[in-house]
Amino acid sequence: MNQEYWHRQSQDKPLFGDLLWSRPESRQMAGKLLVIGGNLHGFAAPAEAYTYATEAGIGVAKVLLPDALRKTVGRVLENGEYASSTPSGSFSKQALAQWLDFSGWADGVLVAGELGRNSETAILLEQFLAKSGAAVVLSRDAVDYLYTSPQDVLNRQNTALVLSLSQLQKLVKAAGFPKAVTFSMDVLQLVELLHDFSQQYPVKIITEHQGQSIVADSGQVSTTPQALDIWRTKVAAYASVWWLQNPSQSFEALTTAVSEASGDR
């Protein structure tokens, strides 16, 4: 079977080494990332994403939190900004203008998760994705908001999802895709499914299965040995940085990002 679309990457030999040698030489040229997430009861995901983005080589990053966290976070979180929140402490619908304003400043947006379960936040995220033209990466519970209207995000340009196999299973099912994601499938079967899925939809997918990080973009699929036990936040942050620094080479950038996130280089 001819599978020219499947690219196998090893930790000691990145597939796209030229990207490693052409990185920005200064922070001023390394791009701006907006990290969104958190709710009154937790903000570890956006805080960790900020740390990982810095580690990955971003020029400047800002973290946008619900203003219910202002007293809790105070000045602890560097470059923290705040947007309107609900009485329960999640982002409210009124935060849309702030999300759009800050995303206009950034070269890329990472919705890192810990958004909480809130109907207003669901509406906010839906409206933001519809109105913003920014390149957006979504991970953790941000993905869980997408099952109700999956076609909206699946057909959105400049969108990447960093999601667990369980989340991918739910999303593929909600989209009515004819092939099902199962935990019993091997890597080859999942690669074939994602090849077909990413040809039908412009969304970019990063997931993990059987010790492999898998990237799918426009029919191309890469697999990379995964060395991280807790991987979504770190991989999402690295993917955001590498993608915004290489916007015209999304597949190559995301494939390199998963290698860099789990490697020791």
Distance separating alpha carbons of residues 143 and 162, to the nearest angstrom: 8
pLDDT at 13: 86
Dihedral (CA of 14, 258, 204, 191) sign: positive
d(CA 182, CA 162): 18
pLDDT at 120: 95
Return the pLDDT at 265. Answer: 44
Q: What's the pTM value of the predicted model, to 2 decimals?
A: 0.95
* Burial bucket for residue 18 (CB in 10 Å: 0-12, 13-18, 19+): exposed
Please identify which residue in the block is written with the tokens 């997931």: 207
What percent of the chain is helix, strand and coil (3-state, nearest 5)? 45, 20, 35
Q: What local confidence, expressed as pLDDT, does residue 28 receive?
A: 82
* Distance (Å, whole) CA 83 – CA 190: 39
Q: What angle do CA 187, 156, 168 make, to 5 degrees?
A: 30
pLDDT averaged over 10-residue windows placed end to end, the chain, 265 residues: 87 89 86 97 94 96 94 74 95 97 97 94 96 97 95 96 98 97 97 98 97 97 87 96 97 97 69
| Strand blocks (E) in 14-145 | 32-37, 60-66, 80-83, 108-113, 136-139
Contact between 234 and 249 under an 8 Å Cβ cutoff? The reply is no
What are the φ/ψ torsions at residue 257 (nearest 5 degrees)?
Answer: -60, -45
Q: Please report, for residues 61, 98, 129, 136, 196, the alpha-carbon distance to residue 153 in angstroms, rounded to integers and kept in the order given.
A: 24, 21, 7, 10, 17
For residues 127 and 153, is the Cβ–Cβ distance under 8 A? no
CATH class of residue range 6-262:
alpha beta
How far CA 69 is from CA of 49, 122, 189, in Å, comes to: 17, 19, 44
Question: Domain spans of the chain?
Answer: 6-262
- What confidence score (pLDDT) does residue 74 get? 67
Each residue's pLDDT tens digit, 77-105: 777 899 999 999 999 999 999 999 999 99
pLDDT of residue 229: 75
Neighbours of 161 (CB within 10 A): 24
Give the start-end residues of each E strand in the chain.
Answer: 6-8, 32-37, 60-66, 80-83, 108-113, 136-139, 159-162, 204-209, 212-217, 220-225
Cβ neighbours of residue 248 closer than 8 Å, sequence gap 6 or more: none
